[in-house]
């Protein structure tokens, strides 16, 4: 067969790829590679995977933090913790760190020194000093997801990744000192008075960019729930307030006897707002009532703006109403009520109410009758009043006496009807005391000592009650909060450090 010039050309074209098709294939291959890399990085974000060889150690990477603008990661540009989860020690020597920014296509390496072997069940932080920055060759920017491979001196490997912190932040270290001879509860709520005006240039108008952490490694895992109760100054502008009460829950933190701990108030970018989870505010402080209220995440029991009776048992003429609520501390338009004519009442079970706790509520009565009872079984208990006539068992309620003794308040403590008061009941060991104060008092301020009681056992039920004295009156509650009592009733001292 004779192959002509034209035939040869046709054969060549059928066995080659046109430039257009080649370009399209290249785009598809590049896109697929990018997707694969992206999926790889996202799949490891916040996680670690260990790949040991025979005879090597096994470890995981925890708390991997990276920042290219401000050294917030334990005072470094990056930090991590190597946890030995295996059965053999990680030997001392150089730990190799390999950083990759897949989107930018950059990589860099660094070394972290292990001075002594890391035994099973223990960990080591990396880097060990301060001021260490991310390798400049990485050329990473805020918002990038950076992957990390860690290689220990014995060759064991683990990988993790994290998102580069978005922008520079400032922070204030806060020293909390427990001067008592016993340790604090591990979820103690502490009140911190903050002069927000001192940091006004770093704060959004509503201070929504504040966060609290238990470590200088400012990652979500170390964040503490906090709740802004009140502030002085212009309404809607707490950043100008010279006095603001913030409640922080020291989640997982135990302050030993005669010792202290440090937490951090972080001032994040001004564009950051309340998240209503870790940082929130009392319901009346928001433009929309309760928009950022996270009190339930801070306190043991929290019911400041009654919306339903789902958790309450109602006996007689009692329930939820809008009457008389105006003027209460939380400015809510609803309250729980009980009518006195038939000794009516309502109650709820509060399993967290026990020794070394404080129950606070705001109350209003039209006839100075009983305003509450506490009990260790439903519908049974001891009642308390706002005036000097004290309180006692009511046969319609009590089958078991919650309080074995009751000391009536002095006549000087007689209060008036048709007015809101703040009432605190403090259980400390085997005794309980109640305090009556102004409705404008903040949560941390106890009023005047009203009653001293002996506690027969811890109570599980609290209720609002009328006592059938023959007169018709109504008692109201709202703003019900339970929190832990600090050791011997003495709150830890608070000291705010300099702004960094």
Nearest to 61, CA basis, from 85, 89, 83, 33: 83
Cα 54 to Cα 105: distance, rounded to the nearest angstrom: 32
pLDDT band at 44 (very low <50, low <70, confident <90, very high): very low
Are residues 138 and 101 in contact, defined by beta-carbon separation less than 8 angstroms? yes
Cα 312 to Cα 18: distance, rounded to the nearest angstrom: 77
pLDDT tens digits for 450-478?
A: 777 655 555 567 777 765 455 678 888 88
- Please check whether the domain covering 170-298 is classified as CATH 2.60.40: yes
**C-beta pairs of 452-455 under 8 Å, 24+ apart in sequence:** 452/407, 453/382, 453/403, 453/404, 453/405, 453/406, 453/407, 454/403, 454/404, 454/405, 454/430, 455/355, 455/402, 455/403, 455/404, 455/427, 455/429, 455/430, 455/431
Q: Residue-wise over 357-380: b if at least 16 C-beta within 10 A, else e?
A: bbbbbbbbbbbbbbbbbbbbebbb
Q: 478 pairs with which residues across the strands?
A: 362
Q: Which is more confidently placed, 203 or 67?
A: 203
pLDDT tens digits for 342-372?
A: 667 888 877 656 678 898 988 888 876 667 6
Residue 287 CA to chain centroid, in angstroms? 22
pLDDT(333) > 50: yes
Lowest mean pLDDT segment, chosen from 69-78, 155-164, 228-237: 69-78
pLDDT at site 6: 36
Q: What DSSP state is assigned to residue 203?
A: S
pLDDT band at 401 (very low <50, low <70, confident <90, very high): very low
Q: What is the average pLDDT score of the chain?
A: 79
Are residues 465 and 338 in contact, defined by beta-carbon separation less than 8 angstroms? yes
CATH: 1.10.260, 2.60.40, 2.30.30, 3.90.79. Which one for 48-163? 2.60.40
pLDDT band at 38 (very low <50, low <70, confident <90, very high): very low
Are residues 255 and 183 in contact, defined by beta-carbon separation less than 8 angstroms? yes
pLDDT at site 315: 81
- Determine the Cα angle at 66 with ends 35 and 142, to 5°: 60
**Which residues are CB-neighbours of 68 under 8 A, at least 6 positions away?**
77, 133, 134, 140, 141, 142, 164, 165
pLDDT at site 477: 86
- What is the bridge-based pairing of β-strands 93-101 and 106-114? antiparallel
pLDDT tens digits for 478-500?
A: 888 999 999 988 999 999 999 98
pLDDT at site 98: 96
Q: Which is more confidently placed, 29 or 487?
A: 487
Cα 392 to Cα 372: distance, rounded to the nearest angstrom: 11
pLDDT at site 94: 94
Q: What is the mean pLDDT of residues 249-266?
A: 95
**Which residues are CB-neighbours of 267 under 8 A, at least 6 positions away?**
169, 170, 171, 172, 199, 202, 203, 209, 210, 499
pLDDT band at 233 (very low <50, low <70, confident <90, very high): confident
pLDDT at site 28: 44
**Which residues are CB-neighbours of 241 under 8 A, at least 6 positions away?**
195, 196, 197, 231, 232, 233
pLDDT at site 329: 87
pLDDT(446) > 50: yes
pTM greater than the 0.85 cutoff: no
Cα 440 to Cα 132: distance, rounded to the nearest angstrom: 49
Structure tokens at 456: 């027969």
- Report helix, strand or coil for 38: helix
Cα 469 to Cα 236: distance, rounded to the nearest angstrom: 45
pLDDT band at 387 (very low <50, low <70, confident <90, very high): low
Cα 350 to Cα 462: distance, rounded to the nearest angstrom: 7
Where do the structural domains in the chain lie, given as residue ranges? Answer: 48-163, 170-298, 302-487
- Please check whether the domain covering 302-487 is classified as CATH 2.60.120.560: yes
Same fold, 48-163 and 302-487: no
């Amino acid at each position: 067969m004779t192959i002509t010039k034209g035939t040869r050309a046709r054969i060549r074209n059928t066995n080659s790829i046109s430039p257009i098709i080649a370009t399209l294939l290249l785009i598809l291959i590049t896109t697929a590679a990018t997707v694969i890399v992206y999926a790889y990085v996202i799949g490891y974000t916040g996680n670690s995977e260990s790949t040991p060889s025979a005879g090597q150690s096994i470890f995981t990477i925890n708390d991997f933090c990276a920042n290219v603008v401000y050294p917030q990661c334990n005072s470094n540009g990056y930090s991590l913790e190597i946890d030995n989860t295996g059965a053999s020690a990680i030997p001392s020597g150089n730990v190799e760190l390999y950083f990759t920014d897949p989107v930018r296509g950059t990589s860099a390496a660094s070394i972290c020194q292990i001075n002594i072997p890391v035994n099973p069940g223990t960990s080591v932080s990396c880097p060990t000093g301060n001021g260490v920055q991310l390798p400049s060759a990485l050329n990473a920017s805020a918002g990038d997801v950076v992957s990390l491979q860690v290689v220990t001196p014995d060759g064991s490997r683990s990988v993790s990744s994290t998102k580069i912190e978005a922008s520079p932040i400032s922070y204030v270290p806060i020293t909390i000192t427990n001067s008592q001879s016993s340790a604090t509860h591990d979820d103690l709520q502490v009140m911190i008075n903050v002069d927000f005006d001192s940091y006004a240039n770093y704060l959004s108008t509503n201070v929504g960019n504040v966060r609290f952490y238990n470590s200088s490694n400012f990652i979500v895992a170390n964040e503490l729930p906090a709740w802004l109760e009140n502030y002085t100054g212009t309404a809607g502008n707490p950043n100008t307030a010279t006095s603001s009460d913030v409640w922080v829950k020291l989640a997982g933190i135990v302050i030993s006897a005669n010792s202290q701990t440090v937490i951090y108030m972080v001032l994040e970018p001004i564009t950051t707002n309340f998240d209503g989870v870790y940082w929130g505010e009392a319901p009346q402080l928001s433009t929309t009532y309760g928009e950022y209220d996270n009190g339930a995440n801070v306190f043991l029991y929290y019911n400041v703006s009654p919306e339903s009776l789902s958790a309450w048992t109602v006996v007689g003429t009692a329930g939820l109403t809008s009457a008389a609520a105006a003027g209460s501390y939380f400015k809510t338009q609803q309250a729980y009520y009980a009518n006195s004519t038939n000794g009516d009442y309502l109650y709820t079970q509060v399993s967290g109410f026990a020794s070394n706790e404080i129950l606070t509520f705001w109350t209003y009565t039209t006839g100075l009758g009983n305003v509450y009872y506490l009990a260790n079984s439903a519908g049974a208990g001891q009642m308390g009043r706002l005036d000097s006539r004290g309180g006692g068992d009511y046969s319609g309620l009590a089958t078991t006496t919650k309080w074995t003794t009751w000391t009536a308040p002095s006549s000087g403590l007689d209060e008036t009807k048709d007015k809101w008061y703040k009432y605190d009941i403090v259980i400390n060991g085997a005794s309980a005391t109640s305090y009556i104060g102004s409705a404008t008092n903040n949560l941390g301020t106890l009023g005047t000592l009203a009653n001293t009681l002996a506690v027969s056992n811890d109570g599980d039920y609290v209720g609002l009650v009328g006592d059938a004295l023959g007169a018709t009156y109504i008692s109201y509650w709202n703003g019900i909060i339970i929190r832990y009592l600090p050791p011997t009733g003495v709150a830890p001292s608070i000291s705010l450090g300099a702004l960094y």
